[in-house]
Amino acid sequence: MGDTLILLANSLRSGYSLLQSMETVSRELPSPMSVEFARVVREIGLGLTIEEALAHMLQRVNSDDLDLVITAINIQHEVGGNLAEILDTISHTIRERVRIKGQIRAMTAQQRFSGYVISVLPVILGVVMFMINPGYIGRMFNETCGIIMLITGGFMIFAGYMVIRRITNIEI
């Protein structure tokens, strides 16, 4: 999306209209962006307005970044202004969001790995204990109280894993 916005902004700066800039994107960029912008250009050529064609693209490609771009284009079309500068700002915002997501993912990697270890460790320990002394652990599967403890333990492990996952999943 960032490359698309930069290409659109540079095309607009060089004097192209918005439709010509979209044609440039459809020719220069790889799929899927080129295919989607080619559809928009085709729909405009068939008589739809720019707003309608962009709304159709947003329906096909469900993306918050694309929604932001289309909203900016529609507002600029109504009000006026420097669309190239707006697209540069949006491109910078998208790139920063991706960079920050990467940093957060790197900073929470240890906690996510701890969640995996804490979730798998009781299962591995139970298997090892069953291999060493099957009679000791075997009672857990034969008695009602043991089965209830296994189900409760499994639920608690799953709940702990989901809590750790929820804590390390930081939204931007």
Residue 80's CATH number: 1.20.81
Q: What is the pLDDT of residue 157?
A: 93
Q: What is the pLDDT of residue 33?
A: 85
Based on the domain organization, do 47 and 118 belong to the same domain?
no
Q: Which residues of the chain have pLDDT under 50?
A: none
Q: What is the pLDDT of residue 79?
A: 86
CA 113 vs. chain centroid, Å, equals: 21
Write down the pTM of the prediction: 0.69
Q: What is the pLDDT of residue 61?
A: 87
Based on the domain organization, do 96 and 120 belong to the same domain?
no
Within 8 A by CB and 6+ apart from 170, the residues are: 104, 108
Q: What is the pLDDT of residue 121?
A: 93
Q: What is the pLDDT of residue 120?
A: 93
What residue numbers bound the domain in which 92 lies? 2-106
Distance CA 108, CA 100 (A): 12
Q: What is the pLDDT of residue 132?
A: 92
Q: What is the pLDDT of residue 65?
A: 86
Distance CA 22, CA 41 (A): 7
Based on the domain organization, do 67 and 41 belong to the same domain?
yes
Based on the domain organization, do 11 and 75 belong to the same domain?
yes
Based on the domain organization, do 25 and 101 belong to the same domain?
yes
Q: How many domains does the chain have?
A: 2
Residue linked to tokens 């960079």: 99
Based on the domain organization, do 59 and 98 belong to the same domain?
yes
**pLDDT tens-place string over residues 79-98:** 888 888 988 999 998 899 88
Distance CA 88, CA 9 (A): 7
Based on the domain organization, do 53 and 43 belong to the same domain?
yes
Based on the domain organization, do 126 and 100 belong to the same domain?
no
Based on the domain organization, do 142 and 74 belong to the same domain?
no
Tokens of 93: 């915002």
Side chain identity at 24, as an amino acid letter? T
Distance CA 23, CA 18 (A): 9
